[in-house]
Amino acid sequence: MKARIRHIVLFAFAALLLLGSGANVQPIKFGTIYGTVSDSTSHRPLPGSTVLVIGTTLGAIADVNGKYKITNIPVGTYDLQSSFVGYHSLVKKSVVVCNQCEVRLEFKLIAGLDLYEELIIDYERPLIRQDALGVKKMRELNAVDAVQAPLYRVEGRFFDGRFNHAPFNTEEYAYIEEAGFLNPRISPLSTFSIDVDAASYSNMRRFITTGQRPPVDAIRTEELVNYFDYDYPLPGEKHPVSIYSEVGLAPWNPDNLLMHIGLQAKQLTDEELRPSNLVFLLDVSGSMDSENKIHLLKKSFKLLINELTARDRVAIVVYAGAAGLVLPSTRGDHTDTIWQALEQLQAGGSTAGGAGIKLAYQVASDNLIPDGNNRVILATDGDFNIGVSDTGALVRLLKERKKEGIGLTVLGFGGGNLKDSRLEALADKGDGNYYYIDSILEGKKVFVDQLRSTLYTVAKDVKIQVEFNPAVVGRYRLIGYENRALNAEDFVDDKKDAGEMGSGHTVTALYELVLADNIEASDVQNLRYQESGVNQNYLDELGTVKVRYKLPDSDESIELDHIVSSATSENTSSDFRFSASVAMFSMLLRDSSFLGETSASSILDLARASKGDDKFGYRAEFIRLVETYSLFDIVDAGMVDHPTVE
């Protein structure tokens, strides 16, 4: 017993010596990894790509030149992974980091879909195994395959190979009927609400990067075009919005003209930013339990939290089987408290979406900041199935509460049960915008790069009305905005809701025009109660663009107008040409009847030549999406019919 006590005392004494000898305690040592991420073929930089130290929280996002730098990496050996939308992820293994040294590590990514094997099943044919490049091999479908195959893909959707039925896919998209050409003698006015939503673009990107063709009704042309920023003149002191126009040949039909209209919102200074009262309304129902839903939601909201200040306030309301307040309104600089509230969230239960919206608006109202930015931010896959689930009832609720000055931003997550049409309607009626978050980079775009335009409104109920000159324009069609169309009389009706523009926002609208000289006489209708002739005094004008808007704290509209010259430019701007390439891609995805000479090749040529200044790499990413989509036809053409298996 005495010997045992003696050993314990000696061990304790040795431990004290070690603790007391500061000279023997080794400080933690760090190193740095830096380099560039580029395309393996063109060697172009990939701005916005990520480099992560696997197994840690360390990582970096490449800048506009594709350069990245990760500092304060503890000495050791690590695996690093680089990823980017439309490219295969690349892992560099066993990278040694030494003390106070810098390791240069280059990543050259290969364009294409993520590397995985798909099992494409047609129950009347043998099993086809297809890799990411479309290489197919025939083999017989047997019991071994059914047990060993972890994942099947049927018509673009995945399900567990142990079941013999397709997945239950409940995604919802509102039907869109493409608008055709109108006669300005009969319909001289084209009226619509502006739209700065961007959900359709990132949702389209989700489909293409996972090797699927997007549903036709998931493609809203105006949202694809308005996903990108354009360099329009800033407004002066009188109005928070300016109007820009440009006219050139339509790339898909050189016999017609393309009229490009742009609106530019003023950019708020730091002094002009109002304090924010934000309520995060988070869907934590069972349908949100996946990496690209609740976990991506948490990461995206953490990016937003880092941008808030002591003047701002944040509350968190969640809903599943019931709605509840998990974080009372808290100062925006109490980052740790807000983070902890987010981290404890877990998905489970059914979806009481209506109850959650009611509670969120009540919390926002209780903490209302007079003349502040009061906003509910809803994050969900849209799968409301308990409580106030009727879209109409929800819309009426939002219209009632927005009178208090509380706006709504809607964020969609995930796939399989995305209720796109419902989320778009909620954002539209809630004085806000709708975004779809398909990656942490999209979360950064919405909550960091474009935070002011996302949260701070400078003009509300913004409507556009274009009056076309029938002496010059024989036919016109608005490209997109089908579900934003308004009646002509709605333009001057201040009770009619319309879209909102945030700080620095741009809005772009495109019209395809057929010149009056190209309209055959037999195609001209003479009406009994209309003037038989047209005014020849304005042959130098295509038309007039009028814009009406309200200031954020006003219920009365202000109007401004802009004359569009009939002069056609042969040297159109890069913004004009790039927006045209995006519209062409939208028409291709929708299999539009107005495609003309549009092809993936012509889109790529136009987009590459007009990429211009691409600070965040969004235009380069668009080009890669078109390149990826162009491979679909090649892969489909390589599919070979095989005899039916008896």
- Say if 201 falls within a structural domain: yes
Report whether pLDDT(642) > 50.
Answer: no
Name the token pair of 620.
């380069």
**393 vs 292: which has the higher pLDDT:** 292
Mean pLDDT, residues 478-499 taken together: 94
Number of domains in the chain: 4
pLDDT number for residue 569: 81
Identify the domain boundary among 409, 434, 455.
Answer: 455
DSSP string, 554-618: -SS-EEEEEEEESPPPSS--HHHHHHHHHHHHHHHHHT-TT-TT--HHHHHHHHHHT----TTSH
Report whether pLDDT(370) > 80.
Answer: yes
DSSP assignment letter at 144: H
Q: Are residues 155 and 64 in the same domain?
A: no
Q: Are residues 440 and 324 in the same domain?
A: yes
Q: What is the CATH number of the domain that holds 627?
A: 2.60.40.1230
- Say if 86 falls within a structural domain: no
Q: Are residues 363 and 487 in the same domain?
A: no
Task: Report the Cα–Cα distance between both ends of the chain, in Å, rounded.
Answer: 82
User: Which percentage of the chain shows pLDDT scores above 90?
Assistant: 51
Identify the domain boundary among 432, 455, 478.
Answer: 455
Beta bridge partners of 586: none
- Say if 83 falls within a structural domain: no
pLDDT number for residue 284: 86
Beta bridge partners of 628: none
Mean pLDDT, residues 319-331 taken together: 82
- Say if 44 falls within a structural domain: yes
Name the token pair of 100.
């106070």
Instruction: Answer whether 319's CB lies under 8 Å from 287's CB.
Output: no
Q: Are residues 509 and 552 in the same domain?
A: yes
- Mean of all residue pLDDT scores within the chain: 81
Q: Are residues 426 and 304 in the same domain?
A: yes
- Say if 87 falls within a structural domain: no
pLDDT tens digits for 587-633? 999 999 999 989 999 999 999 999 998 988 999 999 999 999 998 87
Mean pLDDT, residues 191-220 taken together: 93
Could you tell me the pLDDT band of residue 246, with boundaries at 50, 70 and 90? very high
Q: Are residues 294 and 410 in the same domain?
A: yes
Q: List for the chain the helix, strand, coil content (%; round to 5).
A: 30, 30, 40
Q: Are residues 624 and 556 in the same domain?
A: yes
Q: Are residues 490 and 586 in the same domain?
A: yes
Q: Are residues 147 and 215 in the same domain?
A: no
- Say if 112 falls within a structural domain: no
- Say if 431 falls within a structural domain: yes
**422 vs 69: which has the higher pLDDT:** 69
Range of the domain at 66: 30-77+93-103
Name residues whose C-beta falls within 8 Å of residue 227's C-beta, 6 or more positions apart in sequence: 198, 201, 202, 582, 618
Q: Are residues 497 and 617 in the same domain?
A: yes
Report whether pLDDT(286) > 90.
Answer: no
Name the token pair of 34.
């830096």
Instruction: Tell me how far apart the alpha carbons of residues 365 and 323 are, in angstroms, rounded to a whole number.
Output: 17
Q: Lowest mean pLDDT of 195-199, 375-379, 508-512, name the range.
A: 195-199
pLDDT number for residue 166: 37
Instruction: Tell me how far apart the alpha carbons of residues 239 and 265 are, in angstroms, rounded to a whole number.
Output: 9
- Say if 218 falls within a structural domain: yes
Instruction: Tell me how far apart the alpha carbons of residues 35 and 60 are, in angstroms, rounded to a whole number.
Output: 11
Report whether pLDDT(405) > 70.
Answer: yes
Identify the domain boundary among 455, 478, 505.
Answer: 455
pLDDT tens digits for 101-159? 899 999 999 876 433 223 222 333 333 333 333 333 333 333 333 333 333 333 333 33
Handedness of CA 552, 424, 215, 47 (dihedral sign): positive
Nearest residue to 128 (alpha-carbon basis) of 630, 628, 633, 636: 636
Instruction: Answer whether 282's CB lies under 8 Å from 345's CB.
Output: yes
Instruction: Tell me how far apart the alpha carbons of residues 218 and 196 are, in angstroms, rounded to a whole number.
Output: 16
Q: Are residues 380 and 243 in the same domain?
A: no
Q: Are residues 241 and 150 in the same domain?
A: no
Q: What is the pTM of this model?
A: 0.73
Mean pLDDT, residues 382-398 taken together: 61
pLDDT tens digits for 12-40? 444 444 444 444 445 668 899 999 999 88
Buried b (16+ CB within 10 A) or exposed e, 430-459: bbbbbbbbbbbbbbbbbbebbbbbbbbbbb
pLDDT number for residue 353: 58
